[in-house]
Amino acid sequence: MIPIIAQYCMECKEWIEDSDTHKCSKDSWVLADKEMVGIADRLYSMGIVPTTAMWGATELGTAKDHEYFLTLEINLRRRINESVLDKLPEGWKFHWETVTPDQSPVKMLAYTGRWINVGLKSLDERIAELIQEFEEFLDSKDSEAIKAVLLLMP
Ligand SMILES: [Zn+2]
């Protein structure tokens, strides 16, 4: 599975074929991997607007297809009060500054974790599973209530 990254409109829930003629505001566009649009759509419906949504996998160690560092990264249009989502699933965290010495500001919601391939599922299946688990977490939330709360916050 190779990430396919393209512009997607969360307002009409369609891939943008021609950015010059697409009618919606760019505020509703996200640069996303095709596997990540379900997460982008759910966050957008809560008023947590993503600008990018991508996954990545880096092989660790020397054994081929054995150990990976997995990331699911969602850059957000603005910083939000993270308490609106309560406790995030394991491995997920909001990041508001980088870990580099200058601690430059970021607005990111991300999963990071190591995964060891013991032969029960493929890397693609593990990524799909992580995405599905986070979609289910978001589905368990009241998106209208969260959107209302976020609108009241500066
Ligand atoms: Zn649109």
Q: Cβ neighbours of residue 145 under 8 Å, at least 6 residues apart? A: none
Task: Give residue 1's pLDDT.
Answer: 55
Ligand 1 centroid vs 112 CA: distance in angstroms?
30
Contact 82, 94 (CB under 8 A): yes
Adjacency order of strands within the sheet including 29-33: 14-15, 5-9, 29-33, 50-60, 67-76, 105-116, 92-97
Mean pLDDT computed over 120-140: 97
Ligand 1 centroid vs 24 CA: distance in angstroms?
4
Task: Give residue 35's pLDDT.
Answer: 95
Is the pLDDT reported for residue 154 higher than 70? no
**pLDDT, tens digit, 9 for 90 and up, residues 54-112:** 999 999 989 999 999 999 999 999 999 999 999 999 999 999 998 889 999 999 999 99
Ligand 1 centroid vs 8 CA: distance in angstroms?
8
Task: Give residue 116's pLDDT.
Answer: 96
Query: CA of 113: how far to CAs of 5, 16, 28, 72, 116, in Å?
Result: 22, 31, 29, 9, 10
Contact 68, 57 (CB under 8 A): yes
Is the pLDDT reported for residue 4 higher than 90? no
Q: Which amino acid is at 40?
A: A
Ligand 1 centroid vs 22 CA: distance in angstroms?
6
Contact 127, 70 (CB under 8 A): yes
Ligand 1 centroid vs 7 CA: distance in angstroms?
10
In the chain, pLDDT over 70 holds for what percent of residues? 97
